Amino acid sequence: MTLPRIGVFDSGVGGLTVLKAMAEQVPAHYLYFGDTARLPYGTKSVETVARYAIGAARFLEGQGIDLLVIACNTATALAMPMIKEAANLPVVGVVEPGAAMAAEVSKQRAAIVIATEATVSSHAYRDALQRRGMEAYEKACPLFVPLVEEGWIEHPVTEQVAQVYLGEALAQVPNHADVLVLACTHYPLLVPVLRRVVPAGVQIVDSAESTARVVSMMLSDSDQLSSRGRSEATSQGTSTARSASPADHRTFRFYVTDSVDKFKRLAARFLGRQVDHVEHVDLGG
C-alpha cells in the first residue's frame, strides 16, 4: 500500500505549521521546499512571486509528488491561478481553506483577518470571505513574524504588540465580529497569546489547520489524486487518516535555498521536533 507523496511549498519556515497540522492528520511522505534565499516574498512583484513559486512547484513535481500544498499566504494570495495553471497535479493553497473554516464557524458573518502587509494588500482573504457572505476587516501585523522567528512566543513584548494590533483592529470593527482569522503561517505559534488578547466570544481560525483539513478530505476522494496515491486515499479515508499515528506512517524531507543549519534551528521551533534530511538546492534566478 503506497502512501501519497505531498509537496509543501513556502518562502521560508512559516509553512512548517501547515506541514505539522497535516502530519497530525494525514499519513504521507512529505517533501517541504523553503525558498529561504529569496524571502520575503511580500516585497516582490506578482510576476516574481509566481516565477519563484512555479520553479519550486516544478522541482517538487520532479520528486514525484501527488499533491502540492502552497503553504505560503503571499504566494497563494498573489499567484495561485498561475501556479495551478503551471502545475500538472492538484494544488491546494491556504486562503480558501481558511476562509471556508471562518464562514463555517461564524454565527455573526463577520471576521477580523490578521496577516502580513503583502497579504492584506492583496485582499485575498477579504474577497474569499465576501464570496461566502462574510464581512471581513483586515489588519496587518508586521512585527509578529520576526517575533516568532526570534522565539519570543510567550514574551511580554509579544503580548504587548498583540494588544496594540488587536486593540486597533477591534476598535475599527463592529462588535459582532466573532472570528479571528490567522492569515499567516507564523501566527499559529501565537495562539496562546492571541487567545488572551481577543474577547472570549471570538473564535480563532488557523489557516494551517484549515488547510490540513482540506488535504485530509481530498485524500478521501481517490479521483482527485494521481495513481500513486489512490490506493492510500481509497483505503484510508479521512477518518482513518486522522486516527493513524505511528511515526513510520510519515516521512519528511526538506529542501531549502539558503542555510541548512539556520533552517534546522528554526524548523525545530515550528515543528516541535528535530529536523533531519535537509538538502540545499539552487533553482537559479
Nearest alpha carbon to residue 270 among 185, 209, 184? 185
Same domain? For 175 and 237 the reply is: no
Mean pLDDT, rounded, of the chain: 89
With 0-12 / 13-18 / 19 or more C-beta atoms within 10 angstroms meaning exposed / middle / buried, residue 168 is exposed
Chosen domain end from 144, 174, 207: 207
DSSP string, 57-107: HHHHHHTT-SEEEE--HHHHHHHHHHHHHH-SS-EE-SHHHHHHHHHHH-S
Q: Residue 203: is its pLDDT beyond 60?
A: yes
Let me know if residue 264 belongs to a domain: yes
- Prediction pTM value: 0.89
Which three cell numbers, joined as nine digits, stand for 144? 509578529
Average pLDDT over residues 102-129: 96
Same domain? For 135 and 264 the reply is: no
How far is the C-alpha of 86 from the C-alpha of 56, rounded, in Å?
11
> By mean pLDDT, which of 143-152, 171-180, 232-241 is the weakest?
232-241
Same domain? For 122 and 202 the reply is: yes
Residue with the bigger pLDDT between 272 and 231: it is: 272
Chosen domain end from 176, 207, 238: 207
Instruction: Find the CATH number of the domain harbouring 194.
Output: 3.40.50.1860
Please give the distance of CA 117 from its chain centroid, rounded to a whole number: 16
8-59 residue pLDDT tens? 999 999 999 999 999 999 999 999 999 999 998 988 899 999 999 999 999 9
Nearest alpha carbon to residue 197 among 144, 149, 272, 127? 144
Q: Residue 272: is its pLDDT beyond 90?
A: no
Q: Residue 225: is its pLDDT beyond 70?
A: no
Which pLDDT value is given to residue 173? 87
Per cent of the chain over pLDDT 70 is: 90
Where residue 162 falls (left for φ over 0; alpha for ψ -120 to 50; beta otherwise) is alpha
Same domain? For 13 and 114 the reply is: no
Same domain? For 42 and 110 the reply is: no
Chosen domain end from 175, 207, 239: 207
Per cent of the chain over pLDDT 90 is: 81
Q: Residue 113: is its pLDDT beyond 90?
A: yes
Which pLDDT value is given to residue 57? 97
Which pLDDT value is given to residue 180? 98
Q: Residue 217: is its pLDDT beyond 90?
A: yes
Cis peptide before 40 (omega within 30 of 0): yes
DSSP string, 219-250: HT-GGGS-HHHHHHHHHHHHHHHHH---GGGE
How far is the C-alpha of 149 from the C-alpha of 133, rounded, in Å?
35
Let me know if residue 166 belongs to a domain: yes
- Total number of residues shown for the chain: 285
Which three cell numbers, joined as nine digits, stand for 51? 516565477
Which pLDDT value is given to residue 285? 65
Q: Residue 233: is its pLDDT beyond 50?
A: no
Give me the active site residues, please: 72, 184
How far is the C-alpha of 90 from the C-alpha of 214, rounded, in Å?
12
Edge-first strand listing for the sheet containing 28-34: 91-92, 67-70, 5-10, 28-34, 250-256, 278-280
Residue 22's alpha-carbon distances to 99, 109, 275, 283, in angstroms, are 18, 27, 16, 26
Domain count, the chain: 2
Quote the radius of gyration of the chain (alpha carbons, Å): 18
Same domain? For 218 and 182 the reply is: no
Average pLDDT over residues 151-170: 96
Segments forming the whole domain that contains residue 24: 5-93+209-280
Residues in CB range of 273: below 8 A, 6 or more apart:
none
Q: Residue 242: is its pLDDT beyond 50?
A: no
